[in-house]
Amino acid sequence: MLISLFFSANIYQISANELEKGLRGRNSILKKPIGPGFSSETRQALLEESEQLINDAKAQVLNRLIIINLFIFIGGGFLSYYLAYRTLKPIEDANLAQKRFIDDASHELRTPLTALISENEVALMDATMTKKQYQQQLASNIEEIKKLSNLTDSLLRLAGIENKDVLSEEYSLNEALKIALNRASTLAKEKNILIKSNLKNNIHLKGDQNGTAEAIFIILDNAVKYSPKNSKISISVMQNKNNVHLAIKDHGIGIKSSEQPHIFDRFYRADTSRTKQNVSGYGLGLSIAQDIVSKQGGQIDLISQPGKGSTFTIKLPK
Ligand code: ADP
């Protein structure tokens, strides 16, 4: 607006000067003695008329400049508002996402804490409880505390991924898979689930071995959690010139197509896992896995059919 006003003032000044220069030229001609028949009244009238014309022209220039400036002021105002909105939108979205995350995290933390407090208060008030019942109460407390500890670990891991620079060292995918398989084996054994892998040749990748192992473990652990007892999980590895694809296929409960786009969201748990099955979890695993993989330039894809099973494929650049 200031620039526009500055130029307008200059344009007005230059136009006024030019008009006055023209007027002075015309006046000097009018003031010269001219032939008879050109009375001094006529000369005066002509001088006044040109004065009037110049004043009108100046007023017109001024009016135009005022209109243009008004237009720039209103148009610029709207444009500035729109651009400010566009610039601030990602910041607002990030703030909202953070707020939602904190809301969800506090909710998930508060629910088991409230349950723990009320269970213990009831136990304290009950004078008839036997030693065995107290032991049961303590065992249930420990179970809840373990869940809370897992949740805080997941939250810390998510915060860690966000702040950490991506490691870029050469590592063996076989080693990462071995770490993940070791961690998942306990639950798999409990459910008598057989995990088979076709990875034989050594594959070397650049990135973060522990991160990749963590992502594979999360998907493998889910495959075990959401599969029936005595079923099979297969891990297959394929590679092309640029990428390695590690697919983990289970024959579990599967995921509805309407829920598939959301399962990588933080704290999202599909209906089936909340209600029908008594499977522990907070809906953070897949979002951690996705963060880890995408930080290494890869992605996770999913194909799933309810009742038939799911295949999660981790694609990593070579
Ligand atoms: P959770 O701790 O609930 O397992 P995740 O983020 O790991 O959290 O997974 C989100 C949701 O995706 C789960 O609650 C579950 O409903 C669904 N899910 C993930 N993996 C599988 C799978 N292999 N089979 C069926 N459902 C799955």
What confidence score (pLDDT) does residue 273 get?
A: 52
Measured from the CB, is residue 263 less than 6 Å from ligand 1?
yes
Our mutation pick for probing the ligand 1 site, out of 226, 291, 303, 308, counting the most ligand atoms within 8 A of Cβ, is: 226
Our mutation pick for probing the ligand 1 site, out of 155, 231, 273, counting the most ligand atoms within 8 A of Cβ, is: 273
- Whose Cα sits closest to atom 25 in ligand 1? 254
Q: How far is CA 175 from CA 29, 209, 306, in A?
A: 101, 8, 32
Q: Residues of the chain whose pLDDT is less than 50?
A: 275-276
Torsion of CA 317, 269, 227, 216, to 10 degrees: 20
Our mutation pick for probing the ligand 1 site, out of 195, 234, 259, 263, counting the most ligand atoms within 8 A of Cβ, is: 263
Measured from the CB, is residue 207 less than 6 Å from ligand 1?
no
What confidence score (pLDDT) does residue 8 get?
A: 95
| Residue 206 backbone class (left: φ over 0; alpha: ψ -120 to 50; beta: rest) | beta
Q: How far is the CA of 30 from the centre of ligand 1 (A)?
A: 96
Measured from the CB, is residue 227 less than 6 Å from ligand 1?
no
DSSP-derived secondary structure for 204-255: EEEE-HHHHHHHHHHHHHHHHHTS-TT-EEEEEEEE-SSEEEEEEE--SS--
What confidence score (pLDDT) does residue 286 get?
A: 95
| Residue 254 backbone class (left: φ over 0; alpha: ψ -120 to 50; beta: rest) | left
| Whole-structure pTM value | 0.70
Q: How far is the CA of 255 from the centre of ligand 1 (A)?
A: 8
Terminal CA-to-CA distance of the chain, rounded, Å? Answer: 54
DSSP letter at 201?
S
Q: How far is the CA of 15 from the centre of ligand 1 (A)?
A: 74
Q: How far apart are CA 254 and CA 310, in angstroms?
A: 5
Measured from the CB, is residue 298 less than 6 Å from ligand 1?
no
